[in-house]
């Protein structure tokens, strides 16, 4: 399958909605560019892209190239020159991602770990910690380079997100403290911003401005739930 996506149709799609327990209206609606009729996971499986991360970023770059004045295009970081973007979206060069965020426990496959996973899946819900008291910090989860770059040098870009230092998403999901990745990620985002309101990350957070500090504490303490619904069919 050809990698050149410059003529492939795409559109802005809704991926998930979010509201706080008790709300009538959505607090947030996630939207991003997506290739039509060709799912990203299929393209990754076929080797067109090396990872879902690459598929998402390449699609976003192509959308921004076609529609530079669209509001979604303004949010895309410009770590690439115009000629480099064209090389990326036509398949001449790949974006290389390096993940820094693997939880070692997630990849263990010894007998004790396998038994623990099976048991935890059927146990009643364990006591949920008070996440408002858990250490939280900003973590670089991945960086990316353009094919041909010095991989030992500074990456073109990457993603830093808040995470709870002593409770990974894997551990939180395994113990039934969160339902899925957005549940964990958004709670960590809100809690980090509540504690560090003057931090540059808090000023740019798309979630923090949607909640009061009192509401964030309700979420972190488990008194109210974030209701996150996927829009994927």
Q: CA–CA distance from 207 to each of 8, 100, 172, 174, 226 (Å)?
A: 32, 24, 21, 25, 12
* 158: CB partners within 8 A, 6+ apart: 140, 141, 142, 143, 144
Q: Which is nearest to 95 in space by CA: 154, 146, 152?
A: 146
**% pLDDT > 90, the chain:** 41
* 46: CB partners within 8 A, 6+ apart: 1
CA count, 13 A, side-chain hemisphere, 210: 18
- Residue 196, pLDDT above cutoff 50: yes
- pLDDT, position 125: 54
In the beta sheet, which residues pair with residue 167?
Answer: none
Q: What is this structure's pTM? A: 0.81
- pLDDT, position 34: 85
Least confident of 39-43, 72-76, 167-171, 189-193: 39-43
- Residue 118, pLDDT above cutoff 70: no
Q: What's the average model confidence in pLDDT over 144-153? A: 89
- The secondary structure of 205-220 as a DSSP string is -TTGGGS-HHHHHHHH
Q: Which is nearest to 170 in space by CA: 100, 220, 103?
A: 103
- pLDDT, position 1: 46
- Residue 217, pLDDT above cutoff 70: yes
Bridging pattern class, strands 226-230 and 157-164: unpaired
Q: pLDDT tens digits for 45-82?
A: 777 778 778 888 888 999 989 988 887 777 676 788 88
For residues 190 and 205, give the distance between their C-alpha atoms in angstroms, rounded to a whole number: 8
Q: pLDDT tens digits for 200-209?
A: 999 999 999 9
For residues 226 and 144, give the distance between their C-alpha atoms in angstroms, rounded to a whole number: 31
* Boundaries of every domain in the chain: 10-230
Q: What's the average model confidence in pLDDT over 103-117? A: 54
For residues 110 and 130, give the distance between their C-alpha atoms in angstroms, rounded to a whole number: 30
Q: Which residue has the higher pLDDT, 105 or 56?
A: 56
Q: Which tokens sit at 114?
A: 């396998």
């Amino acid at each position: 399958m050809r990698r050149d996506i410059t003529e492939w149709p795409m559109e802005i799609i809704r991926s998930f909605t979010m509201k706080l327990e008790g709300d009538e209206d959505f607090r947030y609606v996630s939207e991003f560019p997506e290739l039509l009729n060709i799912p990203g996971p299929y393209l990754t499986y076929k080797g067109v892209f090396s990872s879902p991360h690459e598929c998402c970023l390449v699609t976003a770059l192509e959308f921004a190239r076609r529609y530079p004045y669209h509001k979604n295009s303004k949010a895309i970081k410009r770590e690439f020159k115009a000629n480099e973007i064209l090389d990326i979206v036509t398949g001449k060069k790949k974006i290389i991602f390096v993940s820094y965020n693997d939880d070692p426990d997630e990849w263990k496959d010894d007998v004790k770990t396998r038994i623990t996973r099976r048991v935890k899946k059927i146990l009643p819900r364990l006591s949920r910690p008070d996440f408002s008291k858990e250490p939280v910090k900003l973590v670089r989860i991945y960086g990316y380079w353009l094919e041909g770059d010095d991989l030992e040098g500074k990456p073109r870009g990457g993603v830093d997100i808040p995470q709870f230092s002593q409770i990974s998403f894997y551990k939180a999901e395994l113990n039934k403290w969160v339902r899925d990745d957005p549940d964990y990620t958004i709670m960590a985002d809100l809690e980090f911003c509540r504690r560090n309101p003057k931090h540059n990350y808090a000023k740019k957070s798309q979630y923090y401005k949607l909640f009061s500090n009192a509401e964030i504490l309700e979420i972190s303490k488990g008194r109210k739930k974030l209701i996150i619904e996927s829009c994927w069919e």
